A = this chain, B = another copy of it.
Amino acid sequence: MTQRGRPRSFDRQTALRQAMQVFWALGYEGATLNELQEAMGGIAPPSFYAAFGSKEELFREAVELYSRTLGAPMMKALEEGPTARDSIQALLVAAVEAFCKPGLPRGCFLVSGAFNSVPANKNVDDHVRGLRVRRQKAIQQRLQRGVEEGELPKNLDPAATAVFYTTVIDGLAIQARDGVSRKALNFAVDCAMAAWDPVVHETDLRKPRMLANRRE
Contact = CB atoms under 8 A, between A and B. Distances in A.
Interface of A: 26-27, 29-30, 32, 100, 111-112, 115-119, 129, 132-133, 157, 159-161, 163-164, 166-175, 177-188, 190-192, 194-195, 197-199, 202, 205, 210-216
Contacts of A115: 112, 115-116, 174, 177
Contact of A164 (B29, B169, B191): B191
Nearest to A120: B30
Contacts of A170: 170-171, 174-175
A159 B132 contact: no
A128 B164 CA distance: 25
Number of copies of chain A assembled together: 2
Top 3 A-B pairs ranked by shortest CB distance? Answer: A171-B171, A167-B171, A195-B195
* Chain A contact residues: helix, strand, loop or mixed: helix
Nearest to A129: B178
Given A160-B187, A161-B191, A187-B163, A179 B214 contact: yes
Given A167-B175, A205-B190, A116 B30 contact: yes
Contacts of A111: 174
Contacts of A205: 187, 190-191, 194
Contact of A119 (B26, B185, B210): B26
Given A163-B185, A181-B215, 7 more contacts: A27-B117, A111-B174, A163-B175, A163-B184, A167-B192, A184-B211, A186-B210
A26 B116 contact: yes
A168 to B, nearest CB: 6
A171 B136 CA distance: 13
